[in-house]
Amino acid sequence: MSKKLRLGVLVSGRGTNLQAIIDSINEGKLSAEIAIVISDNPNAMALERARKANIPTAYVKPGKKSEFEREIINILEENNVDLIVLAGFMRILSPNFVNHFPLRIINIHPSLLPSFPGLNAQKQALEYGVKITGCTVHFVNEVVDGGPIILQEAVPVYDDDTVESLSARILEKEHKILVEAIRLFGENRLRVSGRRVFIDKEGFDKCL
């Protein structure tokens, strides 16, 4: 039997995506283990959610970017993490960090990339006037919100939407595709070719 996928989850805030991962694992829907939850914000509700689930946590104080990232890298390596999940982590990681873990970092973003990268994606979509937006899980590369796309889910924009109502509708889908992307990664079913990510129909028993 293959070893369970070890996750390192980076968070900055509320942590509903983290909670979706925790719940899926606890319900037996996702074969993985969260080895460590790391935050740049000591007051993140996500840290509270992790503690409640008996998951080890670490707070890394933002300072000089290279030192901040070095500390995070050390923690991830000490914890033998296979996959790093950015679940509402609101900092841009340097090329040095990203290249340390090639095709082993994924991010959830609340828009259909490449539309509306960066901050406040839901507000950007509403202000632009699109009728459909959504969410994206992608591998992280050196370009902000620009890595190869693993999964996307579309969400309609209604005339009476506010940023809050639209964000809530997108969030439901985020939870679904983030967990699904982790599952596909763990089953070794993602093949990356240039910008494209192909999903194998059958999984392999991967020796991690």
147 binds ligand GAR (CB under 6 A): no
17 binds ligand GAR (CB under 6 A): yes
Parallel, antiparallel, or unpaired: how do β-strands 57-59 and 83-86 relate?
unpaired
- Please tell me the distance from the alpha carbon of residue 29 to that of residue 131, in angstroms, as a whole number: 32
Q: Give the residue nearest to ligand GAR (CB).
A: 88
Min CB(172)–ligand GAR separation in Å:
11
8 binds ligand GAR (CB under 6 A): no
Nearest to 30 by CA among 193, 208, 178, 156: 178
Alpha helices in the chain (DSSP H): 16-26, 45-52, 65-78, 95-100, 121-128, 163-186
Task: Specify whether 109 is catalytic.
Answer: yes
Q: Quick one: which of 5, 8, 9, 15 contacts ligand GAR (CB under 6 A)?
A: 15
Q: Which of residues 100-139 bind ligand GAR (CB under 6 A)?
A: 108-110, 121
> Could you tell me how far CA 26 lies from the centroid of its own chain?
18
Binding mask 34-73 for ligand GAR (x = CB under 6 A): ------------x---------------------------
The residue type of 155 is: V
Q: Which of residues 161-190 bind ligand GAR (CB under 6 A)?
A: 171, 174
By three-state DSSP, how is residue 23 classified?
helix
Q: Which DSSP symbol is given to 205?
A: -
Residue ranges that bind ligand GAR, judged by CB under 6 A: 13-17, 46, 87-88, 108-110, 121, 171, 174
